[in-house]
Amino acid sequence: MNTDDTMKFFSSTFSVVEDSNIGGEASRRIRSFVRREGRMTRAQRRAFVECWARFGVDAGAATLEPEWLFGRRAPLVLEIGFGDGESLVAMAMAHPEMDYLGIEVHRPGIGHVLLRAEALDLSNLRVMCADAVEVLRQLPDESLARIQIFFPDPWPKARHHKRRLIQPPFVKMLVPKLRWAGQLHVATDCEDYAHSILNVLRAVPELANVADGGGFASRPAYRPLTRFERRGRRLGHEVWDMLFARSQPEV
């Protein structure tokens, strides 16, 4: 999949942007998305009305306790920017022993997931329409078995690289939420962004690269191919996976 395909299809567009309403040293804050709303279908609008109470989680709670969200204690996976949710639903269906919390700001994608979750009667999937940064602040430390960020907006132009999501301040927020040996999994189809992400993650002392040779990882079996990725592979486009684990501090 090329960059244009990513910009078109992965419309979650999670990135770091500037807040021009705040002056001085605080003029740059972390915000995980730029909203690009598409048109919702009638079914997707219905899903928000009829399915949100079961599968949706409202932002704003003081703390998001995983056991409260799912009514059980199980390994919890957080996906930031799930797009149309195709792979998120597939993972929840394939791994009922795990719980999945997806964050997205693209309402048509959320509506699509709500419809799929209802049709498949998934008890281990919840979704939020919220800024990932705010959700991270609500999640307890050491509560996540895995954080996955698949195909974040690559912002390919050099002058826009500052808007990319995977940067040191954001990763610093992610690490404490992982339990020990919990994994951070990022995938992109933009080669320049892949090398940038790899360098950012390598520089975090609390993270260890689990790939052989300390480079890019093979796609784990749990990450399904989306239809856009399958099309991209047929066209010879490459995808880079990066898989890091939170390591125990040295004594």
Please state the separation of Cα 144 from the chain's center in Å. Answer: 13
Contact (Cβ atoms closer than 8 angstroms) between residue 113 and residue 89: yes
> The tokens 């907006």 sit on which residue?
153
What is the dihedral angle through the alpha carbons of 187, 191, 196, 202, rounded to the nearest 10 degrees? Answer: 60
Higher pLDDT, 98 or 26: 98
- Based on the residue annotation, tell me whether 141 is a catalytic residue of this protein: no
Q: Which of 84, 99, 131, 153 is catalytic?
A: 153
Share of the chain above pLDDT 70, in %: 83
Q: Confirm or reject CATH 3.40.50.150 for domain 3-246, answering yes or no.
A: yes
Mean pLDDT of 20-47: 60
Residue 72 has pLDDT above 60, yes or no: yes
- pLDDT category, 36, cuts 50, 70, 90? low
| Pairing status of strand 76-80 against strand 99-104 | parallel
Q: Which two tokens stand for residue 12?
A: 């979650």
pLDDT of residue 14: 53
pLDDT of residue 250: 64
Residue in 59, 64, 103 with CA at minimum distance from that of residue 85: 103
Higher pLDDT, 203 or 16: 203
What is the dihedral angle through the alpha carbons of 217, 142, 80, 189, rounded to the nearest 10 degrees? Answer: -10
Question: Can you tell me the distance from the alpha carbon of 114 to that of 47, in angstroms, rounded to the nearest whole number?
Answer: 6
Quick one: how many helices (H) and strands (E) in the chain? 9, 7
Residue 23 has pLDDT above 60, yes or no: no
Residue 52 has pLDDT above 80, yes or no: yes
- pLDDT category, 39, cuts 50, 70, 90? confident
Task: Write down the pTM of the prediction.
Answer: 0.85
pLDDT of residue 21: 37
Q: What is the DSSP letter of 15?
A: B
Backbone angles phi, psi at 235, to 5 degrees: -90, 0
> The tokens 């950012």 sit on which residue?
200
Backbone angles phi, psi at 149, to 5 degrees: -135, 105
pLDDT of residue 40: 86
- pLDDT category, 233, cuts 50, 70, 90? confident
